[in-house]
């Protein structure tokens, strides 16, 4: 059974201990949306001791840079499990999304405990390979 409630203009569905936050059908989140989400997360995490939160991202095409850092901070400080509903393809292609989120068996993108290593050429071996390839 799903329990539904509201916090300001955000709808929160609770099912099987997971709180699913809906901000609406906006494609672009701005600072005000991020502030609303931060306030709602604070209430759920600090006052209600919620430790499993999913965020509805179906309509989102652009996210403020602070969104991701906010989730990582709550995960590290309070051990909160976060997941996102599948966002628009352009969000899924963003570097931070690919590095920090992984599709789980339930069809949600789960925030990883440890991010995937960045794919940066930084070793002497990579430099040698580039030189050898250029010489061919």
Chain centroid, CA 98 distance in Å: 10
**Among the listed ranges 67-81, 96-110, 115-129, which one has the minimum average pLDDT value?**
115-129
Kindly report the number of other CB atoms within 10 A of residue 128's CB atom.
10
More confident residue, 124 or 64: 64
Tell me which residue of 115, 113, 56 sits closest to 79, measured CA to CA. Answer: 113
pLDDT reading at 135 higher than 60: no
Tell me the pLDDT band of 40, cut-offs 50, 70 and 90. Answer: very high
The pLDDT tens digits of the residues spanning 82-95 come to 999 999 998 898 88
pTM value?
0.79
**Three-state SS for 104?**
coil
The pLDDT tens digits of the residues spanning 10-36 come to 899 998 899 999 988 888 888 888 888
Domain 3-135: state its class.
alpha beta
More confident residue, 75 or 123: 75
Q: Tell me the domain boundaries of the chain.
A: 3-135
């Amino acid at each position: 059974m799903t329990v539904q409630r509201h916090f300001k203009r955000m709808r929160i569905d609770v099912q099987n201990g997971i709180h699913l936050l809906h901000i609406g059908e906006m494609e672009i989140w701005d600072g005000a949306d991020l502030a609303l989400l931060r306030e709602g997360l604070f209430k759920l995490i600090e006052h209600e001791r919620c430790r499993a939160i999913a965020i509805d991202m179906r309509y989102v095409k652009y996210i403020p840079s602070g969104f991701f850092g906010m989730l990582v901070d709550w995960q590290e400080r309070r051990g909160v499990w976060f997941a996102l509903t599948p966002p628009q393809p352009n969000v899924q292609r963003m570097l931070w999304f690919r590095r920090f989120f992984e599709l789980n068996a339930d069809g949600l993108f789960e925030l990883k405990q440890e991010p995937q290593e960045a794919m940066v050429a930084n070793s002497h071996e990579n430099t040698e390979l580039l030189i050898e390839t250029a010489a061919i």
